[in-house]
Amino acid sequence: MTAQQIYEAVELCASRRHGVRDVEVHWRSGSESLTRFANNAIHQNVSETSHALSVRIVIGKRTARASTNRVDLAGIERCVEQAVALTKAMAIDEELLPLYEPVEAVYPAVDRFDEPTAECSPEARARAVAEAIRIVEEHGQTAAGIYSTEHLTETVCNSRGIRAMHRETMARFSITAMASDSSGWAKASAVRSADLDPAALARSAASKARASANPGEIDAAPYTVILEPSAVLDFVGQIMPDFSATSLADQRSFLTGRLGKPLFHPMIAIADDVTHPLQCGSPFDGEGVPRRIVPLVEAGVPKAVVYSRGAAAKASAAPTGHGLELPNDAGETPENIVIAGGTSSVEEMVASTERGVLVTRLWYIREVDPYDKIMTGMTRDGTFLVENGKVTCGLRNFRFNQSVLEALANVEMLGPAVRASGEETFDMVVPAMKIRGFGFTEVTRF
């Protein structure tokens, strides 16, 4: 069935069988294929095709949701029946808004579907992987990583006239090159698989592993750091969920009492911008509200948060199109982060540093303090000592305990903003950063 046919079946079932007029339907269908390699060979190789129908019912001031992947008529009817039953079991919620009506439902135009990526074959992925492995093997190293391609179609429809549809492809390549006592890593993602260069990523990972061989050890202490974009993404990305009106209202955001006050270095500007050419994702939120561009931080001053319809109504503000599927606890979240870049290259940052640490990526980052935004985590896969403007050797990895707020106040240089991929948060557009006084607190054994 098409998304429209599924919606019509849901609406018909809700009205005829249950006397319910207000329905919201989410429909997702897609496929993800992933070729995984380790020890210089493909070892896991998978593909998944899936569908998800999710029905939200509104009866007066009550709402609830039921979901299924059974999209024959019987499955749809059962899903509606469960959503209705769950909704009727809910207590009245005086703050619940009616379904969104398309007064201004004009969605930003984004082009994020690439047919060759959607149809990428296992053989094409395997050939790229084989070449990447060959490059790493040439360096006398061992390769591990993934090459994935996926396509997704999502729609939000409701009985008040919302009809929002988005389709997207995504390709990701990640590689770790391992030598006897060192490793290097590189990762990239793009809407078009043709925009990825697995061989170049393999060469980068291998050269990092070679350059960090025979790592030295220096005492854990605050150092000037040069964080490559993936490290910036995974570190700074930890604070982004706090730019939420609901989080602010709940007083669990670090922005409580800080909105409008200088907090970061004046170079820091952060926006949520679904239209950015390096971004991905749908141009509407969980209720079908169009996403707006929201300047979150300007000249180091946090200026705004994102709003769902519900949070906006309570705050007498306008919804920004960042609401999550209802019902939920969290309200909304920014999803298309763009941190403005500068003009300094990583090489220039290194050249300007008397003594510091160059960091490829950060790992296992967790929040130690929710208001000061102290994060702990590890460096990984390419950590280097910088002395007198040059990278002099690889280093054993550090544990850090560092406030993101303090780090963004201590920024000294910014690189150009690029699309970055990591493993600790979703992809964002961020620059490399040079930051003084970054708090390394322990050294591990490798």
Partner 1 sequence: MPRDYALQALDTALRPGVTYADVRVIESKDRSLSTKNGRAGTASSTEQLGLGIRVIADGCWGFAATDDLTKAGIDAAAHLAIGIARSGALAKKHDVELAGEDAHQAVWTSKCEIDPFAVPVEAQFAHLLDIDRELRRRKGITMAEGSMQFTRTRQIFASSIGSFIDQTRTVSGAGYSAYSFQNDEIQKRSYPTSFGGQYQQQGYEMVRELDMLLHAPRIAEETLALHAADQCPEGVFNLILESSQLGLQIHESIGHPIELDRVLGSEANYAGMSFLTLDQLNRLRYGSDIVNVVCDATESHGPGLGTFAFDDEGVPAQCVDIIRNGEFRGYMTSRETAAAVGATRSNGTMRAAGWDRLPLIRMTNVSLIPGKQKLAEVFDVDHGIYMETNKSWSIDDKRYNFQFGCEIAWEIKNGKRGRMLKNPTYSGISTEFWNSCDAIAGPEHWTLWGIPNCGKGQPEQVMGTGHGASPSRFRNVRVGGGYSE
Whose structure tokens read 């319910």? 20
Cβ proximity to partner 1: between 144 and 152 the closer is: 144
Length in residues, the chain: 446
108-111 contacts at long range (C-beta below 8 A, 24 or more positions apart): 108/274, 108/275, 108/283, 108/290, 108/291, 109/275, 109/283, 110/166, 110/274, 110/275, 110/282, 110/283
Count, residues near partner 1 per rule CB under 8 A: 91
The binder of partner 1 chosen from 302, 323, 356, 439 (CB under 8 A):
439
- Residues near 61 by beta carbon (within 8 Å), at least 6 away in sequence: 92, 93, 94, 96
Task: Return the number of the residue (301 or 374) whose C-beta is nearest partner 1.
Answer: 374
Which range in 162-170, 233-241, 275-283, 377-385 contacts partner 1 by CB under 8 A? Answer: 377-385
Can you read off the two tokens belonging to residue 20? 């319910």
Kind and range of the H or E element at 189? strand 183-190
x/- track of binding to partner 1 for residues 174-193 (CB under 8 A): xxx-x------x--------
Integer Cα distance of 86 and 415 in angstroms: 51
**Beta carbon nearer to partner 1, 333 or 353:** 333
Using the minimum distance from each CB to partner 1, give the nearer residue, 8 or 406. 406
From residue 30 to residue 49, the character string flagging contacts with partner 1 as x (rule: CB under 8 A) and all else as - is: --xxxxxxxxxxxxxxxxxx
CB of 231 to partner 1, least distance (A): 14
Question: Taking the complex as a whole, how short is the minimal distance between the CB of residue 252 and partner 1, in angstroms?
Answer: 6
Looking at residue 107, the DSSP 8-state letter turns out to be P
CB of 200 to partner 1, least distance (A): 17
- Per CB under 8 A, 153 contacts partner 1: no
The pair of structure tokens assigned to 183 is 């490793």
Residue given tokens 């903003």 in the structure block? 417
| Pairwise CA distance, residues 306 & 293, whole Å | 10
The residue from 59, 146, 213, 267 that contacts partner 1 (CB under 8 A) is: 146
If one asks whether residue 28 binds partner 1 (CB under 8 A), the answer comes out as no
Interface pattern 239-278 for partner 1 (x via CB under 8 A): -----------xxx---xx---------------------
Distance in Å, CB of 83 to partner 1, minimum? 8
Name the percent of the chain in helix, strand, coil, to the closest 5. Answer: 25, 40, 35
To partner 1, the closest distance from the beta carbon of 347 in angstroms equals: 27
Q: Name which of residues 124 to 143 contact partner 1 (CB under 8 A).
A: 125-127, 129-130, 133, 142
Closest to partner 1 by CB, 57 or 304: 57
Determine contact, residues 126/149, Cβ cutoff 8 Å.
no
Contact positions with partner 1 (CB under 8 A) in 305-364: 327-329, 363-364
Whole-number Å distance between alpha carbons of 412 and 173: 31
**Residue number with CB closer to partner 1 (183 or 353):** 183
Q: Footprint of partner 1 on residues 381-420 (CB under 8 A)?
A: 397, 399, 401
- To partner 1, the closest distance from the beta carbon of 330 in angstroms equals 8
The residue range among 29-37, 206-214, 277-285, 315-323 that interacts with partner 1, by the rule CB under 8 A, is: 29-37
- Encoded amino acid at 414, one letter: L
State phi, psi for 367 to the nearest 5 degrees: -80, 125
Quickly list H helices, 102-228. 115-118, 122-138, 198-211
Q: Which residue, 124 or 165, is less far from partner 1 as judged by CB? A: 124
Helix ranges, 253-411 (H): 309-315, 346-351, 404-409
365 touches partner 1 (CB under 8 A) = yes
Query: Closest CB to partner 1 among 25 and 338?
Result: 25
Smaller CB distance to partner 1: residue 30 or 342?
A: 30
From the list 105-113, 269-277, 340-348, 436-444, the region that binds partner 1 by CB under 8 A is 436-444
- Helices 122-138 and 198-211, axial angle in degrees (round to 10): 30
Query: CA 244, CA 237: separation in Å to the nearest integer?
Result: 14
Instruction: Render the burial of 151-166: b for 16+ CB within 10 Å, e for the rest.
Output: bbbbbbbbbbebebeb
**Whose Cβ is closer to partner 1: residue 40's or residue 153's?**
40
Decide: residue 73, CB within 10 A, 0-12 exposed, 13-18 middle, 19+ buried.
exposed
Among 13, 14, 79, 435, binds partner 1 (CB under 8 A): 79
Residues 80-99 that bind partner 1 (CB under 8 A): 82-83, 86-87, 89-91, 93, 95
Choose which of 28, 59, 61, 67 interacts with partner 1 (CB under 8 A). 67
